[in-house]
């Protein structure tokens, strides 16, 4: 299997409040080629990526919605096209749950995506290798939050 050549960035802004997004997140939105967003995306965040193709992949009870597999497949296809792709909520939860399941007691594990998103926070990380995560395509670099 060929590894994707583009990057998929997962950006969260809390409960849809644009003031909670990081500077790095805003920078990534501004230069994105494609943004996959859900119903919690505040219009101001979508304005920040006005030059990008915007795809609503939000889920709402009782409405036609994209299923998680098709959202992940879109991210893979976009990465293979070398597009910078953003997807906020559902993929974050899936990745986070899978990575957390790998942690030992008292250990905090994250993917390289989370490590990149908190750059400048003062947190230190130790590489823990590459792992396959159940239900998530490809392999992922895993890092442990290092004790200070």
pLDDT in tens, 122-138: 788 888 888 776 666 67
CATH code, domain carrying 49: 3.40.1010.10
Given 38, 84, 85, 95, which residue is catalytic?
Answer: 38
Residue 84 appears among annotated catalytic residues: no
On whether both 54 and 109 belong to a single domain, the answer is no
Domain interval for residue 127: 93-145
Given 33, 59, 115, 116, which residue is catalytic?
Answer: 59
On whether both 84 and 126 belong to a single domain, the answer is no
Q: Is the pLDDT of residue 146 over 80?
A: yes
pLDDT tens figures, 73-93: 888 787 767 544 444 433 444
Instruction: Measure the CA–CA gap between 147 and 122, rounded to whole angstroms.
Output: 12
Instruction: Measure the CA–CA gap between 114 and 92, rounded to whole angstroms.
Output: 9
Residue 38 appears among annotated catalytic residues: yes
29 pLDDT band, cuts 50/70/90, is confident
Give me the number of domains the chain comprises. Answer: 2
Please give the pLDDT value at position 82.
58
Instruction: Measure the CA–CA gap between 102 and 67, rounded to whole angstroms.
Output: 25
Please give the pLDDT value at position 54.
92
Q: pTM for the full model?
A: 0.52
């Amino acid at each position: 299997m060929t590894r994707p050549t583009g990057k998929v960035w997962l950006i969260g802004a809390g409960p849809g409040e644009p003031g909670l997004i990081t500077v790095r997140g805003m920078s990534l939105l501004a230069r994105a080629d494609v943004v996959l967003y859900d119903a919690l995306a505040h219009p101001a965040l979508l304005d920040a990526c006005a030059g990008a193709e915007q795809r609503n992949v939000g889920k709402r009870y009782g409405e036609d919605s994209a299923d998680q597999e098709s959202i992940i497949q879109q991210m893979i296809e976009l990465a293979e096209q070398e597009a910078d792709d953003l997807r906020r909520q559902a993929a974050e939860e899936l990745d986070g749950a899978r990575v957390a399941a790998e942690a030992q007691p008292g250990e905090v594990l994250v993917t390289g995506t989370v490590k990149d998103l908190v750059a400048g926070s003062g947190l230190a990380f130790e590489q823990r290798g590459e792992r396959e995560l159940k239900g998530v395509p490809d392999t992922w670099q895993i890092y442990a939050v290092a004790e200070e």
